[in-house]
Structure 1
Amino acid sequence: MAKAVRASLGDMWITCQVCKSDLFRERGVKLNSTGGELFNLAWADETATGLICRRCGFVHLFVNRGIALHRVKD
């Protein structure tokens, strides 16, 4: 399983909207558009940071580049 991270945006710590946990695993997520798919240009679509809650699995998507990830020591 991927390493756990905590995330912050400026001085605000991010918690899960569903279960309030603060442990996530991070994954890049493509935000595909219909036009990009239609013309085989999906590679040019925007990418978001996906934070998947380690407790409940809810996926949070962030396009804001100011999000900071903090590795959790095992």
Structure 2
Amino acid sequence: MARKPVRAAIGDVWITCQVCRGDLFRERHVMLNSVGLEFLKLAWADETARGLICWQCGYVHLFVNKDIKFYRAGK
């Protein structure tokens, strides 16, 4: 089952897709793994980002900004 689409904003700036200008996304957490920590079996300590996958074209946008807010979108 597909997740429900969301809209996202940082402050009062709404995020749109860099490729197709769509404004609906699937949201997920993404690990930003480094080779060093992978080698030492410490990948769990790597930084995470929020991934926004464009609902229309599938382009993946990554954000490490903690101020990003998500809003449910009806579809």
The two structures have a TM-score, normalised by structure 2, of: 0.96
Residue identity in the other structure for 1:6: R
Tell whether 2:11 aligns with 1:24: no
Matched residues in 2 for 1:46 and 1:3: separation?
Answer: 26
Per-residue Cα deviation, 1:6-59 (whole angstroms, up to 9, x for no partner)? 000000000000000000000100000011101000001000000000000000
Residue identity in the other structure for 2:12: D
Matched residues in 2 for 1:54 and 1:73: separation?
Answer: 13
Matched residues in 1 for 2:25 and 2:11: separation?
Answer: 18
Cα RMSD between the aligned structures?
0.7
Q: After TM superposition, what 4+ stretches of structure 1 lie above 6 angstroms from structure 2?
A: none
Matched residues in 2 for 1:63 and 1:72: separation?
Answer: 22
> Structure 1 regions of 5+ residues with no counterpart?
none
Deviation at 1:72, TM superposition (A): 1.0
Tell me what 2:69 maps to.
68
Residue identity in the other structure for 1:69: F
> Structure 2 regions of 5+ residues with no counterpart?
none
